[in-house]
């Protein structure tokens, strides 16, 4: 059992804690800090979490062996570097950082300290994703040609001035930081590194200064193409479809695959819902205990930041943008 601190007790920090607290034999939260402690005091007490007055106090606490960062994206690199220097194991919510350079600095600190760093792309832990990745690896789709992804929702409509998520520097390209980054990681997980992107991003509905409609074309290093759509002012949707020369596979939602083959009826495969937040935190705890490596490498974490940087830049500039 690893004793962790939650850093950031907003909505998502609470989701992470509640996925394991009192339910897991691998990880528990014993302490934490947040920017607005008065708003979180009652919740922290109910969860059995000691409230500390700063991130520095968390890192100085010998009872805390790991930190779970659910904080603004622009703070991540600095927080990872500080945690690594303090010898803490690190779980960090996506996006990792906003640039490849800052990601490389953070990863260098992690490697120097010899600690574990896990990036929270929870959709890697969906059984449907694991099956689709296995089908690709076994060659069941033939030569991969193209991938389509759409991850959308109404989140931008709830962002108010003064909220950090309403800051365009924290949330470039509309739904990219909150949602689209998951699809970028899905592309990487299934199809490998990206080479370049071309992006259109603007506001169709939102009036808070954020884009709500973002679409990107993608070229992969392996020659594949892709298209990513992330809309931040519409009803929720998760959809991925991979096209190969022998078959296509569509993931509709997170628990169903549909397989299409020429001249055959579509095959439908369903999966039981999974608690992916608990799964990712327990995978992190296992890696900290010397078990299986966390299933997202440090190299992939750096490329995640590079993809984010390229799409954010593409939202401001015309033409193809190289993924650094």
Indicate if the pLDDT at residue 200 is higher than 90. Answer: yes
DSSP-assigned letter for residue 163? S
Alpha-carbon distances of 72 from 130, 158, 166, 181, 209, rounded to whole Å: 29, 17, 11, 14, 18
Beta carbons of 146 and 241 less than 8 angstroms apart? no
Give this prediction's pTM.
0.92
pLDDT at 167: 73
- Which range, of 14-18, 47-51, 250-254, averages the lowest pLDDT? 250-254
Q: Output 232 or 155, whichever has higher pLDDT.
A: 232
Q: What is the pLDDT of residue 190?
A: 98
Q: Which residue has the higher pLDDT, 179 or 110?
A: 110
Q: What is the three-class DSSP state of 68?
A: strand
Report whether 305 contacts 181 (CB < 8 A). Answer: no
- Average pLDDT (39-63) is 97
The per-residue pLDDT for 145 is 98
Q: Which of 203-217, 246-260, 292-306 has the lowest mean pLDDT?
A: 203-217
Contact yes or no for 232/154 (Cβ under 8 A): yes
What residue ranges define each of the domains in the chain, with the CATH number in brackets?
2-122 (3.40.50.720), 124-273+292-322 (3.30.360.10)
pLDDT value at position 163?
73
> Do residues 154 and 210 touch, judged by C-beta distance below 8 A?
no
pLDDT, tens digit (0-9, with 9 covering 90-100), for 239-288: 999 999 999 999 998 899 999 999 999 999 999 999 999 999 999 999 99
At residue 71, does pLDDT exceed 90? yes
């Amino acid at each position: 059992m690893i004793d962790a601190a939650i850093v950031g007790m907003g909505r998502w920090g609470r989701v992470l804690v509640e996925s394991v607290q009192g339910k897991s034999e691998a990880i528990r939260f014993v302490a934490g800090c947040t920017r607005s402690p008065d708003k979180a005091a009652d919740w922290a007490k109910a969860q059995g979490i000691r409230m500390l007055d700063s991130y520095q106090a968390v890192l100085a606490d010998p009872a805390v062996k790991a930190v779970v960062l659910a904080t603004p994206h622009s703070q991540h690199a600095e927080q990872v570097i500080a945690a690594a220097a303090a010898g803490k194991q690190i779980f960090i919510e996506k996006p990792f950082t906003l640039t490849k350079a800052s990601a490389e600095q953070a990863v260098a600190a992690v490697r120097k300290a010899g600690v574990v760093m896990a990036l929270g792309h929870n959709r890697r832990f969906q059984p449907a994703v694991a099956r689709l990745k296995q089908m690709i690896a076994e060659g069941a789709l033939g030569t991969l040609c193209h991938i389509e992804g759409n991850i959308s929702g109404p989140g931008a409509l709830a962002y108010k001035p003064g909220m950090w998520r309403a800051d365009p520097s924290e949330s470039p390209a509309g739904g990219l930081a909150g949602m689209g980054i998951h699809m970028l990681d899905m592309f990487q997980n299934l199809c490998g590194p990206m080479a370049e992107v071309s992006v259109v991003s603007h506001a169709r509905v939102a009036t808070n200064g954020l884009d709500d409609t973002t679409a990107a074309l993608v070229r992969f290093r392996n020659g594949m193409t892709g298209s990513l759509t992330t809309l931040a002012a519409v009803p929720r949707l998760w959809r991925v479809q991979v096209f190969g020369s022998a078959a296509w596979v569509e993931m509709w939602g997170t628990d169903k695959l549909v397989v299409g083959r020429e001249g055959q009826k579509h095959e439908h495969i369903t999966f039981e819902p999974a608690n992916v937040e608990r799964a990712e935190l327990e995978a992190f705890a296992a890696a900290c205990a010397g078990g299986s490596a966390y299933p997202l490498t440090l190299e992939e974490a750096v490329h995640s930041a590079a993809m984010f940087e390229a799409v954010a830049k593409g939202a401001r500039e015309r033409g193809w943008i190289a993924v650094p």
